[in-house]
Amino acid sequence: ETKRNFKIFETSLFKKNSNFKNHKLTEVKAIDWQRARLWAQQFAMEADPPMNSTAIIQMAKQMHSSDNLFMLYDSRNFPCAMAGFGRFTDHYSVINLVYVPIDMRGLGIGKELIIRMTSCARKLGYKECLLFSEWMGSKNLYKDMGCKILGRYAEYDLV
């Protein structure tokens, strides 16, 4: 039996960061699908405990096929982060697969990705987004950004 603990966060209004004004968020293009697939696999492997890579890649593929998988591109048009909308409820869009490559972490890219995804969701008519985080350490990106903790839940793999 594998147990995975999550915190559930709700986004708030974020101010745009002028350091990223030349970055753009766009749907994952066919040419970048292999990179998105690799990042989905890395996302799964970095989880503690690791997630099922095949299932996470399938989720990314479904988001991609429904135009709900996005990459943040820098000023040189180089992809530097990925996230997608996993599902939508009446009031929320759920942001999943938030991934920043290891060599780009700590630069504010993850925060900018969440800001852009939240803005995109608002344009689609959603007031707030939900984010799930397994990170139980003291420094949590979503908490540090000012997202509100709505609760916690545990997921069990019964094998």
Q: Say how far apart CA 39 and CA 93 lie, in whole Å.
A: 21
In the chain, where does DSSP find H-type helix? 33-46, 53-65, 109-123, 141-145
pLDDT tens readout for residues 72-129: 999 999 999 999 999 999 889 999 999 999 999 999 999 999 999 999 999 999 989 9
| pLDDT for res 1 | 60
| pLDDT mean across residues, the chain | 91
Return the amino acid letter for 11. T
**Nearest residue to 113 (alpha-carbon basis) of 35, 43, 23:** 23
| pLDDT for res 5 | 85
| pLDDT for res 136 | 67
13-34 average pLDDT score: 89
| pLDDT for res 62 | 97
- The pLDDT of residue 71 is above 90: yes
pLDDT bin (cut points 50, 70, 90) of residue 56 is very high
Higher pLDDT among residues 3 and 122, named by residue: 122
| pLDDT for res 158 | 65
- The pLDDT of residue 27 is above 70: yes
Contact 41, 50 (CB under 8 A): no
